[in-house]
Structure 1
Amino acid sequence: MSDWTWEYEGYDPTAERLRESLCTLGNGYFATRGAAPECRAGLVHYPGTYAAGCYNRLESTVAGRHVVNEDLVNLPNWLLLRFRVRRTGGAWCPWFSPDTSALLDYRHVLDLRRATLTRTLRFRDDDVGVLGVRQTRLVHMGDPHLAALRTVFTPEDWSGEIEIESGLDGDVINGNVHRYRALNGSHLTRVRTGPQEPGTAWLSCRTSTSGIGVALAARTVVVGRSAAPSELRPARRRAVHRLVVPIAPGRPVDVEKTVALFTSRDTAISDPLEAALDRVSTAGGISDLLDSHVAAWERLWRRADIQVPGRAGRVLRLHLFHVLQTLSPHTADLDVGVPARGLHGEAYRGHVFWDELFVLPYLNLHFPEVSRALLNYRYRRLPRACRAAAAIGRAGAMYPWQSGSDGREETQVWHLNPHSGRWLPDHSRLQHHVGSAVAYNVWQYCEATGDTEYLHTKGAEMLLQIARFWADLADFDPGTGRYRIRGVVGPDEYHDRYPGATTPGLDDNTYTNVTAAWVLTRALDLLRRLPAWRREELLERVQLGGDELPKWEEVSRRLRVPFHQGVISQFEGYDDLAELDWDAYRARYDGIRRLDRILEAEGDTVTRYKASKQADVLMLGYLFSPAELRDLFRRLGYDLDDEVWRRTVDYYLQRTSHGSTLSGLVHGLVLARARRAEAWKYVQEALQADIADIQGGTTGEGIHLGAMAGTLDLVQRGLTGLETREDALWLDPVPLPALSEYGFSLRYRGHWGVGIRRRRGQLGIGVPDSEESPIRVVLADRAVTVAPGETCTLELPMS
């Protein structure tokens, strides 16, 4: 394999779903899993197609309980293309399937540079002979509504006919996630099909509740042949174009299928079906489409590629590929958030969590227009977040832990433990720290881009309303002389209540409290920096009384952070929990990442133990530089020196199961600064999370977008110590021997392509020629100014 390709040899039904996820092709508007075109959905194959932001809500009855869930909808399958052969004068052979045919060769090649998936295979039929098949597909990055599939059939030493059925299949459900099988998955209704000569079939439908219209049109042609016997056969939920073509050695059959997809959410159209038919009729041949598609990707790679030698570099490029397929420049025109599992599957029902916290830091410095659009998704749902806070008697904005179409809380009330088969109450909606993630992303985007217009308008409104929520949620405790935030769940998720408690929630989760203090501090900073007229206008718009601000100041300095045994406590009372016999559980189970499910299946509960899914205290070291974290604790009245932080890191390393794909990522970055010798183990885990499916089957339900983007940020921000603040690039490089060489380009404050390269103890910074102002670069021991057209090489201290 080259640095730009991922290859899969042979056919393995048990690995098919993983391969389908990792071979998904998309363009930010829609994506299609890398499934075999001839196969419909079943236990092995799942040809899902998803359009960003296309959700639908359904009711289900599960274990005697009525539940409502909103899902990212599996749209009609445009891939469908099946075939069978016969010798001249003979009977038709069975339809080809990789599951039943005698395969001689079978191979997939995912070309990252060209963003194509090519499948080559040879199979033998005893009544006919050997047939070779080569299929190449793309989901067009230049025109986000187009996709194409080219199939070339080559017989070996026999002549006859080949029958091809090219279809649009509307008889699909959401069935990618096995543990959701008890839920209603039939989202599409009013399915209609029809023909459009010459050679085009169409299908239209609507989502049952959200009423989103969806239309696809497929043009199928045999290249270089006179008109072959052809029949367009619309059926109730499927449109099929049937062709019968002579085939012989030296006369391969080349079939091109071009598809257009539109929804009623699209702009500048009258009707989705009319738009799909028009677009597919004017689309060029696949060779032309491929050229323009590759050119569009070349522009993306110029802006975003990351250069790291070896296998780590290959994996990072794959991660970047999937980030760009989910969140491309086309996303800037859409009202969508960051789906935690990309557009690659149906896990988490396609919902938006806090994963943008791990995604936007990378996008800010490459595709800031996409970051701004993702922040606008949150801004449009700010009124709903304010209503959610008011519903529990609080001021400000309470963003939902899981979000979908309209910003209401989409977190399920019950979840299934596949180990025990029991449905359990889900309290993860108490993860109010998602609001701090929104505020953090607003601030980081504006610092990176210098977009003061956004910071002073939409960004300011979100920041103030989130700060207002934290100030109101914090209650003063006379016994400690501190403000406390009670009844929440932190990022760890294993602990959602105290042992034996009848009500969910924990008190003084450190991550929640410290990030709340950070939000309040940034909101106060912003108000001080605003011009007087804008400050008054903003306070009037959000109806913020002057009497609220003194409390914000007080809460930002007096929120409680619990400690025990000289380390920072994850939450109040953490030290009272029992120690887990980690060695015993590792000996009994192949993997203990999902320790919560293991213990529940044993009749126990993880809430009794000092055990974390991901150590959320250490998340603070992921978000904030050591200096900024010390300043935050100092503002709160606590001394956080290097020794306390090292003890804290050591303490939680011994008590974390890494049940989240984000855990290895966070630990890798934190350890790169705190305990460098052990960092590479966790960085490797983050790199392997999806390609090795370390969680045992979850990647087949969709890639983990936050973890993928986070590995890119680990190089861009973690290894360089990169911060964008005070109108400068701040760098504090961390030597990590296994990743000692790297290079990437940034888009910073009007400069396109600021190059940063590390090699052999040197850090090079190059600024492309332009009319923009010079860039100030600050390191721990010096500051330099690099003008456009100049390159600066800095010697780094050996350590």
Structure 2
Amino acid sequence: VFWDELFVLPVLTAHQPWVSRAMLEYRYRRLDAARRAAADDGLAGATFPWQSGSDGREETPAVLFNTRSGRWMPDNSRRQRHVGLAIAYNAWQYYQTTGDVAWLAHRGADLIIEVVRSFASLATYDEAEDRFHIDGVMGPDEFHDGYPDAPGQGLRDNAYTNVLAAWACARAADVLDLTDGQDCDGARTRLGIRPEERALWARLTRRLAVPFHDGVISQFAGYADLAELDWARYRRTYGNIGRLDLILESEGDTTNRYRLAKQPDVLMLVYLLGPDGLESALHQLGYPTDPDLVARTFDYYAERTAHGSTLSRVVQASVLARMDPARAWRTFRDAATADLDDTQGGTTGEGIHLGAMAGTIDIVTRAFAGLRTDADTVVLDPNLPAGLTRASFSLIHRGQRLRVTLESGTVAVCADPCATNPAVRVRVGDREEAIPVGGHAVFAVDRRI
């Protein structure tokens, strides 16, 4: 079990929240193992493994065999500490969808707060800069495990890790407010949270460092100092260059030297938080933004991504949905056929890519239909590409099952009589309605590209 759950659980939470709850229970039952792992590293809180064994132990292999070169290569994937942030994100999304404060108090709070404690103890403060930094990590890219002169030692200020850590710190504070006194067993008391801890989390939401270069968000500090790869030459020579790490090692070279990525890294922030959420997080951290930041950042990294994972085009299609729906549709189709066409060159015979399959569903609902939630309100902001003339799906939000149908110019929402919560409302554009049990509403939408 590893971070693919970040792509799977949001889909399950929206459609079958009881399944998501069971998967989050898997993580909760292994929380003590994660606490021991953090303590072994000299950290507070919990450090979840990149590849989790049945008892919560780290099972990521230390080496990987390169069939191109016939040599063993170091595998430092366990430095991808961001897996803990994925667990915190999924726990918060489960609460947002279900509104289950009791679960948040006795399960979600532990997962979110212990992950935040781990990252808070990883962060170091630079008084001269008035910034916190996180060192020794790898991002979702997977191709960079260190700098050219320090391979395997991890990176400083991976933007994805730092921004999501700041986001998680804010959610930890929200958890304490929401669960204070719940069942006479507040998380604050049970987890022994000190006032200075909460003060540190608040500082981290404002002062964690995020690097930039050339008007885009840097994947990590020092990324701009790396060399550019001759992409055209490698494509001519090798055709499929998804595993540039194996190709370059066979040539006596390393991915650590170049501006490249196996799969989206910085763009994962847009995938999870949305453009507005990312802008809000950067603003909270004290960084100025402009309306074209996401588009510039997308273009920059799209040219430098090898697509060595089936998740790569899932993320890109989702980010493109608002910027270029036609291109998003083409990218979505590529993502949807990953297993059918065996785009990874032989992996389909070993099993499906569950993360990519869930991710393609998520593109339709969250990206094309513009689904998001705001407390008891379901928000739909559709922007269907020309290739998708109709979409229909159901979801469960805070106990109310809704059936949604999108067609050119309209959004129809029906409330199921068998799963009800009269407090749930639906908002499309400027119009918001509570839909009665068994009732329906049709909303007009203007945008269609």
TM-score > 0.5, shorter chain as reference: yes
Aligned to 1:358: 7
Aligned to 1:480: 129
1:763 aligns to 2:411 (yes or no): yes
Deviation at 1:365, TM superposition (A): 2.1
**Partner amino acid, structure 1, of 2:439:** E
User: Partner of 1:457: helix, strand, or coil?
Assistant: helix
User: Partner of 2:69: helix, strand, or coil?
Assistant: coil
- Confirm or deny: 8 A CA contact 2:12 2:20 kept in the other structure: yes
Aligned to 2:320: 671
Gaps of 5+ in 1: 1-351
Q: Percent identity?
A: 50
Q: In structure 1, how many angstroms separate the alpha carbons of the residues matched to 2:429 and 2:447?
A: 14
Higher mean C-alpha displacement, 614-623 vs 728-737: 728-737
Aligned to 1:427: 76
Q: In structure 1, how many angstroms separate the alpha carbons of the residues matched to 2:236 and 2:75?
A: 29
Out of 247, 254, 257, which is 1:605 matched to? 254
Aligned to 1:589: 238
Q: In structure 2, how many angstroms separate the alpha carbons of the residues matched to 1:430 and 1:468?
A: 17
**Partner amino acid, structure 2, of 1:507:** R
1:741 aligns to 2:390 (yes or no): yes
Aligned to 1:796: 445
Gaps of 5+ in 2: none
Q: For residues 507-526 of structure 1, what are the structure 2 equivalents within 5 Å?
A: 507-526=156-175
Deviation at 1:533, TM superposition (A): 6.2
Aligned to 2:363: 714
Q: In structure 1, how many angstroms separate the alpha carbons of the residues matched to 2:210 and 2:427?
A: 31
- Confirm or deny: 8 A CA contact 1:362 1:709 kept in the other structure: yes
Q: In structure 1, how many angstroms separate the alpha carbons of the residues matched to 2:201 and 2:4?
A: 27
Deviation at 1:532, TM superposition (A): 3.9
1:553 aligns to 2:183 (yes or no): no
Q: Deviations over 1:502-523 (max 9, x none)?
A: 5520000000001101110000
Q: In structure 2, how many angstroms separate the alpha carbons of the residues matched to 1:769 and 1:490?
A: 45
Deviation at 1:740, TM superposition (A): 3.0
Q: Deviations over 1:119-170 (max 9, x none)?
A: xxxxxxxxxxxxxxxxxxxxxxxxxxxxxxxxxxxxxxxxxxxxxxxxxxxx
Aligned residues: 447
Q: For residues 491-506 of structure 1, what are the structure 2 equivalents within 5 Å?
A: 491-501=140-150, 503-506=152-155
Aligned to 1:229: none
Q: What TM-score does the superposition give when structure 1 sets the normalisation length? A: 0.55
1:379 aligns to 2:32 (yes or no): no
Deviation at 1:774, TM superposition (A): 4.9
- Confirm or deny: 8 A CA contact 1:521 1:553 kept in the other structure: yes
1:727 aligns to 2:371 (yes or no): no
Q: In structure 2, how many angstroms separate the alpha carbons of the residues matched to 1:641 and 1:660?
A: 30
- Confirm or deny: 8 A CA contact 2:101 2:178 kept in the other structure: no
Aligned to 2:436: 787
1:685 aligns to 2:318 (yes or no): no
Question: Against the structure 1 CA distance between its residues 411 and 706, is the aligned structure 2 distance closer, same or farther, given a 3 Å change threshold?
Answer: same
Q: In structure 2, how many angstroms separate the alpha carbons of the residues matched to 1:377 and 1:520?
A: 23
Q: In structure 2, how many angstroms separate the alpha carbons of the residues matched to 1:512 and 1:798?
A: 34
Question: Against the structure 1 CA distance between its residues 550 and 588, is the aligned structure 2 distance closer, same or farther, given a 3 Å change threshold?
Answer: same
User: Partner of 2:195: helix, strand, or coil?
Assistant: coil
- Confirm or deny: 8 A CA contact 1:399 1:435 kept in the other structure: yes
Aligned to 2:265: 616
Question: Against the structure 1 CA distance between its residues 798 and 727, is the aligned structure 2 distance closer, same or farther, given a 3 Å change threshold?
Answer: closer
Q: Which structure features the higher share of helix residues?
A: 2
- Confirm or deny: 8 A CA contact 2:79 2:136 kept in the other structure: yes
**Partner amino acid, structure 2, of 1:688:** T
Q: Which has the larger radius of gyration?
A: 1
- Confirm or deny: 8 A CA contact 2:104 2:179 kept in the other structure: no
Q: Deviations over 1:173-200 (max 9, x none)?
A: xxxxxxxxxxxxxxxxxxxxxxxxxxxx
User: Partner of 2:336: helix, strand, or coil?
Assistant: helix
- Confirm or deny: 8 A CA contact 2:49 2:56 kept in the other structure: yes
**Partner amino acid, structure 1, of 2:226:** L
1:446 aligns to 2:95 (yes or no): yes
- Confirm or deny: 8 A CA contact 1:625 1:721 kept in the other structure: no
Deviation at 1:728, TM superposition (A): 1.0
Q: Deviations over 1:33-84 (max 9, x none)?
A: xxxxxxxxxxxxxxxxxxxxxxxxxxxxxxxxxxxxxxxxxxxxxxxxxxxx
Q: In structure 2, how many angstroms separate the alpha carbons of the residues matched to 1:652 and 1:635?
A: 24
Q: In structure 2, how many angstroms separate the alpha carbons of the residues matched to 1:395 and 1:774?
A: 40
Q: In structure 2, how many angstroms separate the alpha carbons of the residues matched to 1:794 and 1:522?
A: 32
Q: In structure 1, how many angstroms separate the alpha carbons of the residues matched to 2:438 and 2:311?
A: 38
Question: Against the structure 1 CA distance between its residues 554 and 775, is the aligned structure 2 distance closer, same or farther, given a 3 Å change threshold?
Answer: same
- Confirm or deny: 8 A CA contact 1:774 1:786 kept in the other structure: no
Q: Which structure features the higher share of strand residues?
A: 1
Question: Against the structure 1 CA distance between its residues 535 and 414, is the aligned structure 2 distance closer, same or farther, given a 3 Å change threshold?
Answer: farther
- Confirm or deny: 8 A CA contact 1:755 1:766 kept in the other structure: yes
- Confirm or deny: 8 A CA contact 2:180 2:187 kept in the other structure: no
Q: In structure 1, how many angstroms separate the alpha carbons of the residues matched to 2:185 and 2:439?
A: 43
1:391 aligns to 2:46 (yes or no): no
Q: In structure 1, how many angstroms separate the alpha carbons of the residues matched to 2:384 and 2:430?
A: 16
Higher RCO (CA 8 Å, separation ≥ 6 residues): 2
Aligned to 2:192: 543
Aligned to 2:310: 661
User: Partner of 2:387: helix, strand, or coil?
Assistant: helix
Q: In structure 2, how many angstroms separate the alpha carbons of the residues matched to 1:798 and 1:388?
A: 50
Q: In structure 2, how many angstroms separate the alpha carbons of the residues matched to 1:677 and 1:477?
A: 45
User: Partner of 1:383: helix, strand, or coil?
Assistant: helix
Q: Deviations over 1:198-232 (max 9, x none)?
A: xxxxxxxxxxxxxxxxxxxxxxxxxxxxxxxxxxx
Aligned to 1:134: none
- Confirm or deny: 8 A CA contact 1:419 1:597 kept in the other structure: yes
Q: In structure 2, how many angstroms separate the alpha carbons of the residues matched to 1:763 and 1:787?
A: 17
Q: What TM-score does the superposition give when structure 2 sets the normalisation length? A: 0.96
Out of 264, 277, 280, which is 1:628 matched to? 277
Q: In structure 2, how many angstroms separate the alpha carbons of the residues matched to 1:517 and 1:780?
A: 30
Q: In structure 2, how many angstroms separate the alpha carbons of the residues matched to 1:372 and 1:410?
A: 24
Q: In structure 2, how many angstroms separate the alpha carbons of the residues matched to 1:788 and 1:502?
A: 59
1:573 aligns to 2:222 (yes or no): yes
Deviation at 1:741, TM superposition (A): 1.1
**Partner amino acid, structure 1, of 2:195:** G
**Partner amino acid, structure 1, of 2:335:** A
Q: In structure 1, how many angstroms separate the alpha carbons of the residues matched to 2:363 and 2:386?
A: 14
Q: Deviations over 1:734-760 (max 9, x none)?
A: 2311123110112222224x1100112
**Partner amino acid, structure 2, of 1:766:** C
Q: In structure 1, how many angstroms separate the alpha carbons of the residues matched to 2:22 and 2:182?
A: 27
